[in-house]
Amino acid sequence: MVTHIALVWDTRSDYADFRSAYSQVLMGLEYGAPSLSESGRRWDWKGRSDRDSGAALWDESHLRVDILFGTDPKAVQTGTKALADYAARQR
């Protein structure tokens, strides 16, 4: 099972505040710092067990983040890729 959450902010400041705080949340959950894509648009992380994983796709132009997490890393990767492909077509 994969869970998907989409968040959109009204202001660039709120978006920036969430983005800066989110890595602290992950570290507080003992997930460690997320690994970043070259563009900084994608963050990936591993959970406390080998099965927990997640990703966040950041879209600054739309002040949106899509967060996916689950216990099947392959399903999380597949869902994240599908969302990233969709977002790229919408730009």
Per residue in 43-55, pLDDT (tens digit) is 887 777 777 888 8
pLDDT per residue as tens digits for the range 72-88: 888 888 988 888 888 77
Please, are residues 62 and 8 in contact by the beta-carbon 8 Å criterion? yes
Of 7 and 80, more confident: 7
Strand order in the sheet with 42-46: 2-8, 64-70, 53-59, 42-46, 35-36
Domains contained in the chain, number: 1
Using pLDDT thresholds of 50, 70 and 90, give the confidence band for residue 7: very high
Please, are residues 79 and 2 in contact by the beta-carbon 8 Å criterion? yes
Partners of residue 5 on adjacent β-strands = 67
22 by DSSP, 3-state: which? helix
Range of the domain at 60: 2-90
Of 89 and 36, more confident: 89
